[in-house]
Structure 1
Amino acid sequence: MGDVLEYIVDGTSGLAPGGVEGSCIVAGVCSTGTVGKGYLLGKSSDLDGLLGTGPLVDRLRDLFATGGQAPIAIAVPVTGSAGGQIAEVEHTGDGPEGAATGVAVGNADAVVEIVEGGALGTATAKVSEDGGTTWGDTEAVAVNGQISIGTTGATLTLAAGTHEVGDTYEFSVRAPIGPVTKTGSGGPDVTLTGTVKAAADLVLKIMSAGALNVATYQLSLDGDSFGPTKTVPLNGQIVAGDTGVTITVASGVDLVAGVIYECRLLPPVPSITSVMTALEQPLSLFDVEFVYVVGPSDSVDWAAMGAKADTLWNAHRPTFFLAEARLPYASEDLNEWTAAMVVEKQGYAHRFVSVCCAFGEVTDTLGYTQFRNWAGLMAGKILSIPVMRATGRVRDSGISQGSLPDDFTEGMQKTLETAGYATAKYYAGLSSAYWGDAKTLADVTSDYQYIEVLRTVFKAVRKARIAALKSMYDEAGDPLAEGGASGLNYLKANIEMALNTMKAAIPHELADYVITIPDGQDIVNNGVAVEMQLIGIPIIRQIKLYASYIYAGSGFDPRLQ
């Protein structure tokens, strides 16, 4: 029977797995790729070859531009729909309010004016689609209050009540292919057709005059960078890059040098239903720190994201969501947009959802400059920094890829930040824009109003859980005997070892921690309760400088004290 028997002792190496920081899923609309499939990407990935063009690709470029040396992003294509916009109604007058609804398939700067007052069915109104320059016939307002705005797909619905003469209702309607603006006199008209695949600010500049197949042009997709000079084709059709749109120049009239045609293309957008459907399989396969949903969103969308975050938490996978606020409508100034964002936030709160409302021009790695939301830049920043670090740390440099709108004020930024949005701002004396507080949509009573707090706690919880699993079905020992609670001591030691990796990290991710297993527990019936107090590292969010002036040698000179 005598022999040497070998046994492997496992679990003593000091490894503390469980962290998923530095990884995310990015879901959005693109022109190619399989909907619902996860594409594991890095900085050298061929985004065009894998995903084509579209909002998802644009944001991935932003993410990799700010994501540090080794960001991990899993792209998930989502089914999109046309990205038209119908703005909120601006009512001038004392009569009942109105609301605009529908699907934007045409463009208009709609104005509805009450011509004859009275109740619905009695009052009359006239409609302008060009901001009041020309008007249609005066007609009676239907009993249901609905007034169609030409062939735009938009309908204004007036509320019941006594309508007042002269009241106006104004709002913009923008189809995916916006209206064409022509600068300069003479030359033919142009039309744009196709299905928009990506956002663009198209500018067609006529370089030399002549008929089709003679005149030359330059085309810009971002309103800034122009391609080479080319001859206008004989059929008059100019393909606008990978946007999915074709510009057609009318025949029969010579083009005039110096004339410029401009048009904005609105990108396709996903529905929250299509987003959640597309995320099902990737979330079942990949465990990530956060999910970034590309495209404009509202409180209904945030509620769905919050519900999914709760589901993941209950499945022992703490994950937060990053969303984008919508951009201002064509007829909306930044004061009106800020007020609308505040109202939208008032209806919802969730500590596991963050919404970025910073936007402006972004210069991507291809040299194109586009006007869009900055959540992609923010997502990359999050991936590049330790969990306890604020995205707005000035020492880490500013947002060099973007510039905020000229009329975006400090008051707007503070208002949005107070409401619970993640924002960006300028500091007097510095040139770049910088991130403000990385806010979540949590209520003001919550400890989890900042992404850096959420990231730190989520990492600690994940690591502590894996460490605690080693003690499942272990013998607790005898708590009443001195040194007899070996199982409980082992449980505590493993959790402490896991959290110590965060305390000992360079830079430190936790200042300290306290793990307590309360005495007197009924372990047989209730299991073991472990209290984890995570002591975080404070963030300097405000600095106050107090300056005083003292004459040298006076009685107040501190050097003489």
Structure 2
Amino acid sequence: MGDVLEFLVDGASGLAPGGVSGTAIVTGVCSKGTVGKAYLLGKHSDLEGLLGVGPLVDTLKDVFATGGQEPVVIAVPVEGLSGGYIGSVRHTGTGPSATATGSPAGNLDAVLKIKTAGSLGTATSELSLDGGKTFASAEATPANGQVTLGDSGATLVLTDEEQKEGDTYSVTVRTPIGPVEKVGTGPDIDVAGTVKAAGELVLKIVKAGGRNQGTYQLSLDGGDSWDVERTLPADGLIAAGSTGVTITVPASNMTVGTVYTCRLAPPVPSISGVMAALEKPLERYDVEFVLIVGPSDSSDWAAAGAKADALWNLHRPTYFKMAYRLPQDGETVDDWTAACKAELDSYAHRFVQVCAAYGEVSDPSGKRLMRNWAGLQAGRVLSIPVCRATGRVKDGGISQGTLDEDFNEAHQKILEKAGALTAKRYAGLSSAYWGDSRTLADPTSDFQYEEVVRTVFKAIRLSRMAALKSMYDEAGDPTLADNGGSGLNYLKACIEGAHGTMIAARPQELAASKVEIPAGQDIVNNGVAVEFTLIGLPIIREIRLFAQYVYAGSRQDPRLEVA
């Protein structure tokens, strides 16, 4: 007795923990790294040294290009699958529809033309395997409607209905290494290997001659940028950068001016592989959102939605960003838009986003390749306050990307209304800009926009951490208006303080909030219910200008007082 005793009063500093804004997991396929391992990255990380090449690395470059000064990104490699595809059937005519199935084993542009009408087994058809340039002799359609498309690994399945004369069904099949197109009179070349990264190969013969004599230039991005002029190798093998493929030129003389092109489709993830790879990183790291790199459809979005629901139930509100596929060979932007809208119409979830914006993207090396812009948008999100729309014109356009010239305002409006994240052009401005940052929420939901989801998620995280201070605290006497700053009043004050950090933030993230603890609660048996309303900052989504013209000095001149 009779000494000085010390006590620490913790929790009085006003700190509001629990925020995860500006942090994200980005997961996708790459050529290096360990599947399922979390790599913590910054703007100066050696991406190629850690992760090699591939869609994940390309997207990370996009994220860091637009992510501001201090983005926090956790990369998670995923096992990759072949990037080839069997395109959707393009039907012309009034007859029944058809589908295509199989596994792409060879490049092909097939066209089936109904020669004579009738039911399956009776109607006749002609098949072309070169895009309609030549057709085989007419044969009866198979009774089961299954038409084998050469050695492509694809099968066209006709609907069991009356076939109409003159109808055509077109299918494009692509392996990871697309067909080699040649312009000029030179000999054919071969492209082989395992594709690790996207590429649009262009080989141009600059000087005629055979191996070790002729010269060439190589482009990996469709001719937007070129390597230096080089001599044809003695063994005829030309490595196509770090894409994983090799070009073989024959031993015969190459012809000057001949140009060869070939498109490389990068490997893609499976949604089951993605979810397996994310399991441990999501247990270890709490992030604002997860970006899944690679083409996806409504079944993938459903898996992401289920994971978002599971994380919500674990008190870790997190949303998912996905990417829709690029247009396929032979597919018009109109057809691509219709296919995307059909997928969007088939699924809804307020915590899932789908980016449909695409176009050529420039990286610091000068290479320009066509890809989805989800990475560019994710980086913008990491660099701005939670309440801000990524389409804010004052923040600048999407300078790294160029929209597909065939993508117009009609396509953009249709996809945006359907719930996709899109980019658009403004008359008078040069760059593309983000449109509404939509989620896949139903039209009745308050969470149709990403900035609303971000704001509410941040407030909920902060509110939960603030409320935890009152767990197992004495509630005080509910009949008294003032419990000396303890009990229920303390709980309310803590939550108000958490919201206050967002209200006082610069830029401001909330306009205001109202926290209430309804009276008359049975705290002993039911716990405490706290109700709060978050008052957000409205976004200007449309401006209408009304102009009128009057003559100076006239009665309509607003500068003059009317008696």
**TM norm. shorter chain > 0.5:** yes
| CA–CA distance in structure 1, aligned partners of residues 82 and 135 of structure 2 | 28
Query: What does residue 459 of structure 1 align with?
Result: 458
Contact 2:63 2:379 in 1 (8 A): yes
More off after superposition, 486-495 vs 118-127 = 118-127
Q: Which residue of 2 aligns with 1:425?
A: 424
Please tell me whether the aligned partners of residues 304 and 352 of structure 2 are also in contact (alpha carbons under 8 angstroms).
yes
Q: Distance in 1 between matches of 2:481 and 2:211?
A: 97
Between the aligned residues of both structures, percent identity stands at: 64
Residue 140 (structure 1) shift: 3.1
The amino acid across from 1:417 in the alignment is: E
Q: Which moved more, 1:460-469 or 1:142-151?
A: 142-151
Once the 2 structures are TM-superposed, how far is the Cα of residue 107 of structure 1 from its aligned partner?
1.1
Counterpart-to-counterpart distance in 1, 2:92 and 2:456: 49
1:206·1:259 contact (CA, 8 Å) conserved in 2? yes
Deviation at 1:115, TM superposition (A): 2.8
Q: Deviations over 1:205-236 (max 9, x none)?
A: 11100011111111111111111111111221
* Map of 1:214 onto structure 2: 213
Q: Does 1:93 align with 2:85?
A: no
Deviation at 1:438, TM superposition (A): 0.3
Matched, 1:520 2:533: no
- Cα distance in structure 2, aligned partners of 1:408 and 1:277: 35
- Equivalences for 1:194-205 in 2 at 5 Å? 194-205=193-204
User: Partner letter of residue 191 of structure 1?
Assistant: D
In structure 1, the residue matched to 2:54 is 54
Number of residue pairs aligned between Structure 1 and Structure 2: 559
Q: TM-score normalised to the size of structure 1?
A: 0.98
Whichever residue aligns with residue 67 of structure 1, its letter is G
| Residues 104 and 175 in structure 1, CA contact (< 8 A), matched pair in contact too | yes
Cα deviations across residues 367-408 of structure 1 (Å, max 9, x unaligned)? 110001000000000000000000000000100000101111
- Contact preservation (8 Å) 2:483, 2:489: no
* Aligned residue in 2 for 1:354: 353
TM-score (norm 2): 0.98
Q: Which residue of 1 aligns with 2:33?
A: 33
- Partner residue, 1:158: 158
2:276 aligned partner: 277
Q: Which moved more, 1:147-156 or 1:476-485?
A: 476-485
**Offset at residue 137 of structure 1 (A):** 4.1
The alignment partner of 2:112 has SS state of strand
Aligned pairs for 1:92-491 (under 5 A) are 92-185=92-185, 187-223=186-222, 224-251=224-251, 253-484=252-483, 486-491=486-491
Amino acid at match of 2:346: G
* 1:107–1:289 distance in 2 versus 1, CA, 3 Å: same
1:237-266 alpha-carbon deviations (Å, 9 max, x no partner):
111011111111122x31011111001101
Q: Within 2, Cα distance between the matches of 1:225 and 1:451?
A: 36
Deviates more, 1:160-169 or 1:142-151: 160-169
**Contact map agreement 2:319 2:352 (CA 8 A) in 1:** yes
Measured after TM superposition, the shift of residue 302 of structure 1 is 0.3
CA distance in 2, matches of 1:323, 1:406: 23
Residues 441-488 of structure 1: per-residue CA shift (max 9 Å, x gap) = 001111100000100000000000000000001110111134238300
> Structure 2 counterpart of 1:244, which letter?
G
Task: Report the AA paired with residue 217 of structure 1.
Answer: Y
Residue type matched to 1:345 in 2? L
Mapped to 1, the partners of 2:544 and 2:125 lie a distance apart of 58
Partner Cα separation in structure 2 for residue 375 and residue 365 of structure 1? 18
Letter of the structure 2 residue corresponding to residue 363 of structure 1? S
- Residues 482 and 536 from structure 1, CA distance in 2 versus in 1: closer, same or farther, beyond 3 angstroms? closer
Return the alpha-carbon distance in structure 2 between the equivalents of residues 483 and 405 of structure 1. Answer: 64
Q: Residue 13 of structure 1: CA displacement?
A: 0.9
Distance of aligned partners of 1:250 and 1:139 in 2 relative to their CA distance in 1, 3 Å threshold: farther
SS of the aligned residue for 1:81 comes to coil
**Secondary structure of the structure 1 residue equivalent to 2:338:** helix
CA RMSD of aligned residues (A): 1.1
Equivalent position SS for 1:547: coil
**Structure 2: gaps (5+ residues):** none
Answering whether residue 87 of structure 2 is matched by residue 79 of structure 1, we say: no
Tell me which stretches of 4 or more aligned residues in structure 1 moved more than 6 Å.
none
- Give me the whole-angstrom Cα distance separating, in 1, the residues matched to 2:123 and 2:491: 77
User: Is the CA contact (8 Å cut-off) linking 1:105 and 1:176 kept in structure 2?
Assistant: no
Deviates more, 1:165-174 or 1:537-546: 165-174
Measured in 1, the distance between the counterparts of 2:346 and 2:488 equals 45
The secondary structure found in structure 2 opposite 1:365 is coil
Shift in Å at residue 336 of structure 1?
1.1
Which stretches in structure 1 are left out of the alignment for 5+ residues? none
Q: Deviations over 1:38-74 (max 9, x none)?
A: 1000000000000000000000000000000000110
1:64 has 2:68 as partner? no
